[in-house]
Amino acid sequence: MNGRVLHFYLAGINNQNFLMRDKETGSWWQQITGKAIYGPLQGATLELVLSDELTFGEWKSEFPSGRVLAPVAKYTKEYEPNWEPEVAKLPVVVSFPGTELKSRDVVVGLTVNGVARAYPWEAFAKQSPVVDHVNGTPLLLVLGPDGKSFRVFLSRIDGRDAEFFLQGDDTTDTSGEKKAWTLVDASTASQWNFQGCATSGPAQGKCLDRIPALKDYWFDWRNYHPDTTVYKH
């Protein structure tokens, strides 16, 4: 922050969302927004680093020589193997009557130039790929070949809005071979992979820009993005 390295630790939980505290200034930070909500740095916001939520299988297929963070042996017994079932039993502090989504429905949330939108996971998974516009920006949301991983891209090729459709999925062809997961754009008919890069056709070698997105519970996303809209197909 402002050229200064900060070190964080878990300080508490607010409505099932982590509160972090930095050792250097003692400021408190909200996990979902990266914003300092109390202390000397109140009002400051950490820069978001693009990240993926992938299955290990999908990640390994893309980075076969990648390294995996190993557990710290002396703390192994303290790690929680599966905390979500227990957390799901906890009461939700906020509710939003009048919305079709339930508090613990999973959504993919994103923000474009200050405008937030939530994509219900079940609808997105059935419809993928999803082409949408948020604040005038064309977006492409895709579910990966494993049916669990997802990514969001800026749906533009050479500065022009583009539409995509899924050419192959986990079905097999006439020879019994499994079809490759491939996206095709409507303007150039090029083929694209899950990394958002064209592997053949006129656009070969080009890659789409990524858009940060978060897989979250509806109550949590809505709580910190009160003006969010919800995608409806």
What pLDDT does 171 receive? 45
What pLDDT does 168 receive? 61
What pLDDT does 179 receive? 59
Kindly state the percentage of the chain with pLDDT values over 90: 66
What pLDDT does 96 receive? 63
pLDDT digits (tens, 9 = 90+) for 24-45: 999 999 988 899 999 999 999 9
What pLDDT does 14 receive? 79
Q: How far apart are CA 51 and CA 63, in angstroms?
A: 14
Q: Provide the pLDDT confidence category of residue 172 given band limits of 50, 70 and 90.
A: very low
What pLDDT does 162 receive? 94
Mean pLDDT of 225-229: 91
pLDDT digits (tens, 9 = 90+) for 175-226: 555 557 899 999 999 999 999 999 999 999 999 999 999 999 998 899 889 8
- Where are the strands (E) in 27-98, listed by range? 28-30, 36-38
Query: Which three-class secondary structure string do you get for 93-147?
Result: CCCCCCCCCCCCCEEEEEEECCEEEEEEHHHHHHHCCEEEEECCEEEEEEECCCC
pTM equals 0.85
Mean pLDDT of 156-169: 88
What pLDDT does 80 receive? 77
Residue 28, classed as helix, strand or coil, is strand
Per CATH, domain 106-216 is 3.30.1380 = no
pLDDT digits (tens, 9 = 90+) for 135-160: 999 999 999 999 999 999 999 999 99
What pLDDT does 232 receive? 86
Q: Please give the mean pLDDT across all residues of the chain.
A: 89
Residue spans of the domains in the chain: they are: 106-216
What pLDDT does 97 receive? 62
Name the CA radius of gyration of the chain, rounded: 20
